[in-house]
Homo-oligomer: A and B are copies of this chain.
Amino acid sequence: MTSLQKKRMSFTPLLPKVCDALDRIAFCGRGETASIGDAGKIKGYFPNTFGRPILYPIERQKRVQKPLKVGVVFSGGPAAGGHNVITALFDSLRSLHPESCLVGFLDGPLGIIEGKYKDLPQKCIDLYRNQGGFDMIGSGRTKIEGDAQLMQSFDTIQRLQLDGLVIIGGDDSNTNVAVLAEYCMQRGSAVRIVGVPKTIDGDLKSPLVEISFGFHSACQTYSELIGNIARDGRSSKKYTHFIKLMGRSASHVALECALQTNPNLTLIGEEILEKKQSLKEIVGQIADLVEKRGNMGKNYSIILIPEGLIEFVIEIKVLIEELNTLLSQGRGEEALSAEAKNTLRFFPKDLQRQLLLDRDPHGNIQLSHIQTESLLSSMVEKELQKRPSFKGKFRVVHHFFGYEGRSGFPTDFDATYCYALGYVATLLIKEGHSGYMSCVRHLTKDPREWGICGVPITSLMHLEVRKGKRKPVVRKALVDLHGKPFKALVQCRSHLLLHDDYIYPGPIQFGEDGSVASIPRSL
């Protein structure tokens, strides 16, 4: 065990004041909720859980508690802080009743379906306090879909006599929370299924869900590296660095890292869609940057590219949507529209192959496998060769940061945020609310002043096409072009093109006193 692991084990996250005495808090619902879109259809899918109110905490007299038995599972890719949700569940359940217990389902939702789990005693819990990764119980991407899997999951819940099940996951996993909650309620079970908003992508958010956990730690890790590379650029003055950042469709990660490091150019997918920018225009924009800087003697630039960029380029968006639909129907690219065929032909050969062959388990194109950064740099190179006005040099280095930011030690912010999320999940279970997401709010304040609430997951849903069919899902939140973070970027970006105002955040530093020194700029 490293010295940092030991040091972090003894860190005690601050808890919102409101959670100081769990046994004297209840929830009070205010008003009915609808869904984000397609309310009628969503209500049809979720007759028992649709329309429930947002829950806010209220004080009440202490009551005698009975022990609770709760299961917990990680769903999807790791995000820093997950272990703290579990340690908080453990601590909060024990604080309510010393005989409460926690079991962890192994390797993701498949563990629920197959009934594979392990008990999580104090000894195990203490080893994972403020540690990165999801390795205490593992994670997986299986979805609980279809009657067979739902029934098996229900059986596991019944057999283990769970009072509650906490699913720690992203948008799709929280869709699963809603589906399973509805299913169990329809069968008369009193089990409470609760979701916790996890994803480094930052695309699970709403007015009440201010941010997903893991986003801050990932962005801080990437920003350390981007800052280092920017400093390297200014030192050796040789390379144009194309840095692609994980984050699926939405450009939250790229935006947050841009605000943390001040690169010369940051592409934001949502803006490209809004302005209907073509691939050619994007390439022109980068070439302009490289030319202007090169002609000033600056043969180096830092360019951030969100992983999901090409989804937002209108001609590619059309192509990908057609392909996703065709391939889900078992048809090939011959059936593409003439326009889409044209777009496909415009791509280098190996990228064509990637688009056609590389699918994720949901049948979708694996965006993280598409080398957008080399696609762009090779097109920029061609463009610059056509410009006699360009007097500089164009040498490229590609980077892709993703996996290295998912399982690191959580920042003080994520460690503290996750610990609070775990407490709220316990509260929701204790108070009998199913199909809800654990929420912690007012995150720009001191952690002791953070607020808490419960949000019905159906209120975050709408219909989306998946494998060619319209399905009820939690909506991914894209970058809001009218929001503060994007406006902050817009305000400085013309200046950053030619000036090197790089910021060097350096490696994440951890505090010891429980204060949270650094929070996401995106809040």
Which A positions have Cβ atoms within 8 angstroms of B? 2-5, 8, 74, 77-78, 107, 131-135, 138-140, 221, 224-225, 227-229, 231-232, 234-237, 239, 241, 397, 399, 403-409, 503-510, 517
Contact = CB atoms under 8 A, between A and B. Distances in A.
A507 B224 contact: yes
The quantity of this chain's copies bound in the complex is: 2
B133 A232 contact: yes
Given A2-B504, A397-B403, A506-B2, A228 B132 contact: yes
Contacts of A74: 235
B408 A399 contact: no
A509 B4 contact: yes
Contacts of A229: 403-404, 407
A228 B405 contact: yes
Given A232-B78, A404-B399, A4 B506 contact: yes
Closest 9 CB pairs of A and B: A507-B507, A133-B231, A134-B235, A232-B407, A231-B407, A4-B506, A135-B234, A225-B404, A228-B408
A236 B78 contact: yes
Which one of A3, A74, A225, A232 has the greatest number of beta carbons of chain B within 10 Å? A232
A19 to B, nearest CB: 27
Contacts of A232: 78, 133, 403-404, 406-407
B139 A235 contact: yes
Contacts of A409: 504, 506-507
Given A224-B408, A231-B132, A138 B237 contact: yes
Contacts of A509: 4, 507, 509-510
Contacts of A3: 517
Nearest to A82: B235
Contacts of A221: 228, 507
B235 A133 contact: yes
A243 to B, nearest CB: 10
Contacts of A397: 403
B408 A506 contact: yes
Contacts of A241: 403
Contacts of A133: 231-232, 234-235, 504
Nearest to A5: B504
Nearest to A409: B506
B228 A504 contact: no
B132 A408 contact: no
Given A74-B235, A132-B231, A133-B235, 7 more contacts: A133-B231, A133-B234, A133-B504, A135-B234, A140-B236, A228-B405, A399-B404
A138 B237 CA distance: 8
Given A4-B509, A509-B509, A517-B3, A404 B132 contact: no
Contact of A407 (B5, B131, B235, B517): B235
A236 B4 contact: no
B403 A132 contact: no
A397 to B, nearest CB: 6
24 contacts: A2-B504, A4-B505, A74-B235, A77-B236, A107-B237, A132-B231, A133-B231, A134-B236, A138-B236, A139-B237, A140-B236, A221-B228, A224-B507, A225-B225, A228-B403, A228-B406, A229-B407, A232-B404, A239-B403, A399-B403, A399-B404, A409-B506, A507-B507, A507-B508
A191 B363 CA distance: 70
A247 to B, nearest CB: 16
Contacts of A408: 224, 227-228, 231, 506-507
Given A78-B236, A225-B404, A504 B134 contact: no
Contact of A138 (B4, B235, B506, B510): B235
Contacts of A406: 228, 232, 235
Contacts of A505: 2, 4
Contacts of A138: 234-237
A331 B203 CA distance: 55
Contacts of A234: 133, 135, 138
A365 to B, nearest CB: 16
B506 A5 contact: yes
